[in-house]
Chains A and B, each alone.
Chain A
Amino acid sequence: MIRGHGSLPARAGVSLKAKHYATVLERTPPVGFFEVHAENYMGAGGPPHRYLTAIRERYPLSLHGVGLSIGADRALDRAHLERLRQLIERYQPGLFSEHLAWSTHGAAFLNDLLPLPYTTATLRCVARHIDQVQETLGRQMLLENPATYVAFADSTYEEGAFIGEIVRRTGCALLLDLNNVHVACTNQQWDPGRYLDAYPLAHVREIHLAGHSRIEDDVGRPLLIDSHDGLVCPPVWGLFTRVLETLGPVPTLIEWDAKLPDWSQFEGQAAQAAAMMDAQAARNPGAAQSAATRRMRPPQENGHRVVRDALG
């Protein structure tokens, strides 16, 4: 085990929601891992911690931050970073991920993942913050691609290339949210195949799959909303199949945050993802092999200092 690096089994996991705490402990269902939003466990004590402690004893855990505001052009909230550090120390998650987005302004927290122009100025800001996060946490973080509803006229990078440049500068790894790819590609009129071709797949350590909803934009075009409130749709399963051909099995989360169904539907979605990974591995054992090898490979030369220290 490489110190400072986490890992999760290359299996299907699900979001852990309070509604399902009791069911999970009673049945110990066959899912590969659970993922929680870090901010929901930043109270001092109480039932959330009691349940998470008990579930962590039984399952691998992924910690997913939604409030760090890595893309905000201001100093990172050190108190928040310290809360994250403590949570990681306490629960030892296999992976820690955050978003390519911003959510703070002045003293206010806006509680949404707001979009960024893809410019060199943004790149410098995001890279500086990821350096600070990895240094403070003493581990590599995963960065998630956003679901976006607007574009910026002055963006000079395509999203995949922008993310690739962040990886090159910081040595961070990636969380590839395939629902976000589908949502962003529909909303921005990008071709998802081209998107994935440009995206640095070799650095993906986790995949998210989720449901979305659909409205119309200002001129009647379909506009997909990243609502995490339903089943994974066929086009997103299609992207999953495509990515598995390249990556082999990857820790894959069924992400569901609103209009929560009964546990059985969570488990059903995870079983579908697991079956697709198994089928792909059976068709092409070589990809799985290369995926395992890739997980063991040290970060590239310009990887983050802490990561290099951890390897040394």
Chain B
Amino acid sequence: MSAAREQPRLADRQRVFAAAMLDPALPPPPGVVDPEGQVCPKRFGVYRNNVIAGLIEALQDSFPVVLRLLGEEYFRAMARLFVTARPPRSPVLLQYGANFPAFIAGFEPTATLPYLAEVARIERAWVEAYHAAEAAPMDPATLGTMAPERVGELRFTLHPSLRVVRCRYPALMIWRMNVADGVPGAVDLSAGGEDVLLVRPGADVEVRALPAGGARLLAALGNGRCLSEAVRIALPRCAPDELSMHLAGLLRSGAFTAADATDVAAVGADGAPHRRLHRVRRRGS
């Protein structure tokens, strides 16, 4: 091959091409031509537009309420900055946008909408819950048959779709008003925050506000604390009836897939001690 025809390695050429995809100030790479062999920035721009517009659309699909709150033009301008600075790391675009809420939180021009990043976190949690692994929630009735003192020893397994978003603003109310069939109305931003539970026990993502202390309780249970320990950490002044209300609400939401009672004294069929004497059955299992 003659020296005149030698080209840089394909990898290097693709590096130059890719850089120009994300930076409109860069010219098309050398050797990219139209049918007459001429440079053709507009043709090259089709690829750039496809890349950028496709990624912006992926964000529009995942954050429809933020889109509605900002309007399409504003949203797309903001999203363009995000996608060029942080293109996806994976070809699985379902996962794209995990750090979009944090980007919004630091985005100076929308600082006058302090609830916006919280709404974005609810939307991101919704997407995660939607695509999370399937798992049958445990039957709430099972606990009713247990002696109350044993219930405190239970360690709960959280549903894989469960997400908790802690908010300083009434972001859940704003989210509800702006989902597809929502009716926007006045919101008192000084009304205080809500902690939001999202879980998909079946086909649909269910979203509800958690009572005070609920987020801390779930965090402690998620860290492997038994119920009585979790209550001591999260709800130190909780009355027993208040606690059973908490627990009933979480069970009804499908927040748990299993509950195990620890009992190291028990001996398994193989003669070895085992820690899972009372596995509270999953619904349908």
Chain A residues packing against B (C-beta within 8 Å): 39-40, 42-50, 66-69, 72-74, 77, 80, 83, 102-112, 114-115, 117, 119, 121-122, 125, 149-154, 187-189, 215, 217-219, 223, 225
Cα–Cα, bound, A154→B43 (Å): 18
Interface contact B32-A150, CB-CB below 8 Å: yes
Contact with A along B28-50 (1 / 0, CB 8 A): 10011111011011111011001
Contact with A along B5-42 (1 / 0, CB 8 A): 10101110111011101100000100111110110111
Interface contact A223-B91, CB-CB below 8 Å: no
A226 vs chain B, min Cβ distance (A): 9
Q: Contacts A122-B10, A125-B10, A153-B33: A68 and B91 contacting too (C-beta < 8 A)?
A: yes
Taking a contact as CB atoms closer than 8 A, the residue among A48, A109, A117, A218 that contacts B90 in the complex is A109
Q: Contacts A69-B91, A108-B18: A117 and B31 contacting too (C-beta < 8 A)?
A: yes
Cα–Cα, bound, A50→B88 (Å): 26
Interface contact B131-A45, CB-CB below 8 Å: yes
Give the interface residue-count category, chain B.
Answer: 35 or more
Q: What are the residues of chain A within 8 A of B133 when measuring CB–CB?
A: 44-45
Q: Is B134 an interface residue (CB 8 A)?
A: yes
Taking a contact as CB atoms closer than 8 A, the residue among B14, B42, B50 that contacts A73 in the complex is B14
Q: Contacts A45-B131, A47-B130, A117-B13: A154 and B88 contacting too (C-beta < 8 A)?
A: no
Q: What are the residues of chain B within 8 A of A215 when measuring CB–CB?
A: 46
Interface contact A223-B43, CB-CB below 8 Å: yes
Cα–Cα, bound, A61→B131 (Å): 21
Cα–Cα, bound, A284→B45 (Å): 45
Cα–Cα, bound, A66→B94 (Å): 13
Interface contact B35-A112, CB-CB below 8 Å: no
Cα–Cα, bound, A135→B171 (Å): 50
Interface contact B18-A40, CB-CB below 8 Å: no
Interface contact B130-A151, CB-CB below 8 Å: no
Interface contact A149-B47, CB-CB below 8 Å: yes
Q: What are the residues of chain A within 8 A of B104 when measuring CB–CB?
A: none
Q: What are the residues of chain A within 8 A of B132 when measuring CB–CB?
A: 43-46
B133 vs chain A, min Cβ distance (A): 4
Cα–Cα, bound, A115→B161 (Å): 39
A296 vs chain B, min Cβ distance (A): 34
Q: Is B70 an interface residue (CB 8 A)?
A: no
